[in-house]
Structures are given as C-alpha cells and as structure tokens.
Structure 1
Amino acid sequence: MSALVDCPELQLPDDDDSDTEDEYLDSNSLLFQSEAPIDIISAGIDVQPTNVVKQILAEAGLSIGITDPPSSETDRLRLETDSISTTSSQDISEDPSNYTAVIPDWKEQNMLVFVLSEAGKPIYSRYGDECRLASIMGVMQALVSFVAASNDELLSVDAGERSFVFLTRPHLILVAVGSVAEPKEHLVVCLGYVYSQLLSLLTLQRLDHRFTVQKNLDLRRLLVGDSRLISSIVEFVEDSFAAFLQSVSYLPLAPAARDACSQIISQSVKSRVVVFGLLLHRNHLVSLVRMKGHELHPADIHLIINLVCSSQSLKSVQTHWIPICLPKFDANGFLYANIAFLDNHTSSVLLSVDSTQFYALEEAKDAIFDSRCC
C-alpha cells in the first residue's frame, strides 16, 4: 500500500555537506511536512498567474514568444482514442434526431459536475450530453447572476437530499451536486480541480483573452477530445484523499533505489532547459527532480499524473510532446512535456519552458531509460 505524504509544497532538506551547489536540478526524493499551517480549501482551488515561465525563459536568454499557445499546425495533441465526441448545439437544434446521449438517472449518481460560461453556455457535464442540459445550466447561471446583482456570491444551495455547490471564476461557473451528507468542502475541492484541469489545457491568459474577444464563446470548440481528462480528474478527487489533503502518493521504494533514480534523472537532464523531471509508475510518483528555486505543487503533480494515466493513446508511440499549463506553478504559461513509457506502467515526464527542446529532451529520456533506473 502506498503512503500518502502531506506536502503543501515539495521541499528539499538542507544539506550543508553537499558539493553540488551549482547543479542545475535538485533531487526531491524525500518529502518533508511544511511547518507552516495550510488552508486546505484555498490550496486546492487557488491558481497562481505568476508568469514564472516567462521569467525562466528570460533568465535563459530565450524568446518569451514560445510560451504562446501552439499554432494550428502544432496544436495540442488530441487523444483520439480517449476522446468524447462533442456535437454542436447548432446541429442539435436543427435536427432533434441527433440526440444520442441519454440523461441517466441522476439519483443514482454520487456526484454531478457542470461547467458553464458566464453567459450560460454549456461547457461540460459529467453525465449526459451538455447540449441537452442547456436549460438546466441556464437556471444555474440565473441563480448566480441574481445573487451577484446584490453584490454577493452564491456558494451553495441545499435542496432536499442534494447540495448544490457553486464556484465562480472569471468567465466560468462551476457547479457540483452531491448528497447533503457529503462535506461541501470536498465538492469545492473537486470544482477547483476541474477549473485547474481546464487551465492546464488552455492557460488562464488564453481563456481570458478568448472570452474578452467573444463574450458568448462556445468553449467546447477549444476542448474537443479533452472531456475525458476532466472526467478523469473528477474521478480522482472522488476516489482519493490525496486531492483533499494536497498530498502525493509515492511508490514504496527503498531510499537508496529512489535516490539512484533521482541521480540518474538529474545527470541525464543536466545543463538542459528542464524545469521538472518525474518518474511515474502507474499513478504513483517514483522520483522527482526540479530546477533550483522552483517548486512543484501536489495539485500540479495530480494534473500531470491525470494526463499520463487517463490516456491509453499515450502508450501508442514512443514519445509525445504536449504543452501543459500547471496552474499552481504558472497559470499563464505553457510548459512542454516530453512523455514516454518504458513499459505499460512506467513513464517519464520531462518538463521544459522551451518548445524547441524536443530533441534535447528526447536524448535525456533515452539516457534515463537506457540506465534502467526504473
């Protein structure tokens, strides 16, 4: 059984005897509990638009232009084998026979999740076709707007045996529906992860720009094929204590073996523009290295693991090069992930701020796998 380690932020022990002060990466093979108190709910839902990606690029003397969203030719890899097809609302309204999704008996579902725009446009529904739920989401939007008109914020509504929890973010309204017996804090954390998952696909800056230009934007057109990732992160929050505790599940391993893995990764990517390097086994973290001065929040690790583990198509070829935003690290910028599987369950993830470093990271990945550290 893997242990959950409480880690609001991953930290390194101070080592006065270390002779590697000039090393590019630090090993994070051990996690230490933070002495500072932490607000679990705030830590779970807040994001950090720090622009740290641009800062790292500037320090490296690289152009900040590479952090812009990929062009149409190099757009984000669509995981076709895991995608959930989306039918436009226009098509459905023109031909009612296009309805293919059947709304399930919601009373049998433990948790429902909805995402809609401030204009009331459907974006995501955990169950059923969001296109068919436009009227329901319209009611949710009306409730939020009614309370906002009084300079207040709608947080929750109890109705019979169900609780409706609302989380409003710029341009978006997120709603979770659960049993009244379920802590509302858990539903809030779930919505925070859904919001972070959306940002990991788009970045906060891009999301804000799109809605500023087009108030009635249909965000689903930018998320085609990515509904599976949102559903998967909801399942993770629902089934695991890790999200609520802001913790990481480490693979049980002898300290010497974990140290060896960390050293191999660190040596393989040394002197390259790599911010973080992770070795994963299934949904457990084996080892983590990081650029000095930068931390990787557990919530961001959860997003990385969700991307790697929820998509079987990532195992179809040797290496994938995928832009991903880590909202706790920098909600405004993309990192570029080199993702490769050693076998069906063991993978490496190397994250760079430089979109031109694919071949350099490919060499680093080969060096890691050739060492058979895992």
Structure 2
Amino acid sequence: STNWLQHKKHFIILSSAGKPIWSRYGDESRISSFTGVIQAIISFFQDSDDTIKSINAGDYKFVFLLKEPLYFVAISKTGESDTQLKDQLVYLHNQILSVLTSSQLTRIFEQRVNFDLRRLLGGTEVFLDSLSTSFNNDHSFMFGALQVLRLGRSTRELAGQILSKGMAKDLLYAMVIAKDKLVTLLRPRKHSLHPSDLHLLFNMLTGSTTFHTAESWTPLCLPKFNSKGFLHAYICYIDTSVSVVMISTSKDTFFELSAWKEKLVKVIQAYGTTHLQTLLY
C-alpha cells in the first residue's frame, strides 16, 4: 500500500520456506507474495553455492541475514551502511531467540519445514516492534554499548551495596534500572553480561506495560550468554520508573527472590530522602 511505501526503513522476517513471520509495518500475511520473491532470490544464490548479503536498487538498500531456518531482511533508504543494518538484523534474530532459544527453533523446523512460527510468537511481536523503533532513537545499539543513569560515584556505590545485601540462592544477575537506564549490576566474576543481552532485557521492560502492574516471573533466553537454554527473570517495578530485575538459573526461586526484593525496598526506604532515593525516584 501507499502507507507501507512511505516508510524509510522496513524489516521483514520469513522462514526458509518463504513463509512470512513478521513485518515492521503492515500485515505480514498480506506480503506473502513478496516474501516468496525474497526466498526465490536467496535460493538463486544458494543454488550457486553463494550467499546474498545486500542489493542496491536506486535509493534503496536491501540487506540480508540468513540464520537458518529464518531469513531476516532490511529494506532501507536511510543511508545506513550494510554493517549497521546487518547489526540491527542480528538484534531481531536475538530477540526471537530470547523467546524460543536456538535449540527449540531448530527442532521445530526440523519436524516441520512449513511451520507457521507466528503461532509461537503470538503476543511477542510488540518486542520486535519496540526493538526496531529503538534502532532509530538509541545510538547505543550502533556502538554495542548501554546507557547508564547519570549518577555520582558514591551514589552508584551505595546502590550497589544495597543490591549486594543478602544474596539469594541460584542468582546469576541482579540489577536496578531507573528511567530505562542501568543504575547498577551485580554479577559473578566469571560471568559478564553482554550489552546485546542487556538491550534485549531492557527492550522487554520498555516494550510492554505488562511488567508495570505486578511482580513477574518469566523464562528468558540471553543469546550471548547461552542461546540454547532459558534462564528465569524476576521483574518488579518498585516505583513508576524504577525496577529490580533478578535473573536466576533455577525456575523455582520466585518466592525467594520476591522476599529478597522486599528487603531491598525496606533498605532503600530506610535511607529516607537521601540523594539515592531522590535520584532513583
């Protein structure tokens, strides 16, 4: 449609069988003929033992990322480079892995090549939409970095000290996030947390208002940490713009983490109107 063509950048995800899975704009079910053409172009190169990476057509640039059993395509006239667009496609791939894991995705399509993945992704498309919007508004994606809340050193150290009180069993990561930016992160010495995994976690928080209403306990795959399995994330907003996120290796620690969160809140409140509480809230 005319509205579809007015956008300067599109993202499309399809299966290796040419089945549409997600489109940034419009209804993906209405572009099945278009995804069929994309699949045919990709197959033409594959038949010649080659891999298509990009096509320039007038003002438009088509960039391809082939991650069997899924194909990712960026169509852009924004002037962004092939590398920048490919990095964005990698993020979209990781967003799908955060919901399904690479093992689960491979197993599904091994059993049925023509599987309609939209049935499993139902309700999570909002995170793909949110992520693709963030590419235009947040340059930290381009630099592989992460935005942190601007705080004085002593304030950040205080937040870290509060977070480290009373470590819970099977806890892998714990963090405080304020105003959609990282305040402090607690992690084991041997396990760093890749910025792209943090971006996916932040996107999950900002992409939906569901987590604002109650304590949440959700399976989550962090692809850079381990693309083949799930961790479990405890998420609770202790104020309108302040959340506590704890990531556990065990699926049975919800109540333990919830109790620990209550202790954290009491410690923060005990500081009264100090600079920590003022800045976070």
How does the TM-score come out when normalised to structure 1? 0.70
Mapped partners of 1:134, 1:219: distance in 2: 14
Q: Give unmatched runs, 5+ long, in structure 1.
A: 1-102
Q: After the TM superposition, which parts of structure 1 deviate over 4 Å for at least 4 consecutive aligned residues?
A: none
Mapped partners of 1:246, 1:337: distance in 2: 23
Query: Which residue of the partner structure matches residue 183 of structure 2?
Result: 286
Query: Which residue of the partner structure matches residue 162 of structure 2?
Result: 264
Measured after TM superposition, the shift of residue 257 of structure 1 is 1.1
Measured after TM superposition, the shift of residue 180 of structure 1 is 6.5
Does structure 1 residue 341 correspond to structure 2 residue 240? no
Matches within 5 A, 1:35-184: 103-179=1-77, 181-184=79-82
Mapped partners of 2:78, 2:137: distance in 1: 18
Query: Which residue of the partner structure matches residue 366 of structure 1?
Result: 262
Larger RCO: Structure 1 or Structure 2 (Cα < 8 Å, ≥ 6 residues apart)? 1
Kept after mapping to 1: 8 A contact 2:175/2:186? yes
Cα distance per residue 1:197-255 (max 9 Å; x no partner): 00001001110111111111100000101110001111112222111100010100111
Kept after mapping to 2: 8 A contact 1:104/1:128? no
Query: Which residue of the partner structure matches residue 105 of structure 2?
Result: 207
Kept after mapping to 1: 8 A contact 2:11/2:73? yes
Query: Which residue of the partner structure matches residue 271 of structure 2?
Result: none
Query: Which residue of the partner structure matches residue 273 of structure 2?
Result: none
More helix by share: 2
Kept after mapping to 2: 8 A contact 1:204/1:331? yes
Equivalent position amino acid for 2:173 in 1: F
Measured after TM superposition, the shift of residue 110 of structure 1 is 2.0
Count of residue pairs brought into register by the alignment: 270
Does structure 1 residue 314 correspond to structure 2 residue 207? no
Secondary structure of the residue aligned to 1:185 is helix
Measured after TM superposition, the shift of residue 106 of structure 1 is 3.4
Query: Which residue of the partner structure matches residue 218 of structure 1?
Result: 116
Q: Give unmatched runs, 5+ long, in structure 2.
A: 269-275
Sequence identity, in percent?
34
Query: Which residue of the partner structure matches residue 63 of structure 1?
Result: none
Mapped partners of 2:73, 2:153: distance in 1: 42
Mapped partners of 1:308, 1:180: distance in 2: 27
Kept after mapping to 1: 8 A contact 2:52/2:64? yes
Mapped partners of 2:19, 2:2: distance in 1: 21
Kept after mapping to 2: 8 A contact 1:165/1:188? yes
Mapped partners of 2:136, 2:83: distance in 1: 12
Among 210, 222, 228, the residue aligned to 2:126: 228
Query: Which residue of the partner structure matches residue 351 of structure 1?
Result: 247
Mapped partners of 1:308, 1:223: distance in 2: 17
User: Cα distance 1:349–1:180, how it changes in 2: closer, same or farther (>3 A)?
Assistant: closer
Among 86, 90, 93, the residue aligned to 1:188: 86
Equivalent position amino acid for 1:290 in 2: R
Equivalent position amino acid for 1:314 in 2: F
RMSD: 1.2
Measured after TM superposition, the shift of residue 366 of structure 1 is 1.2
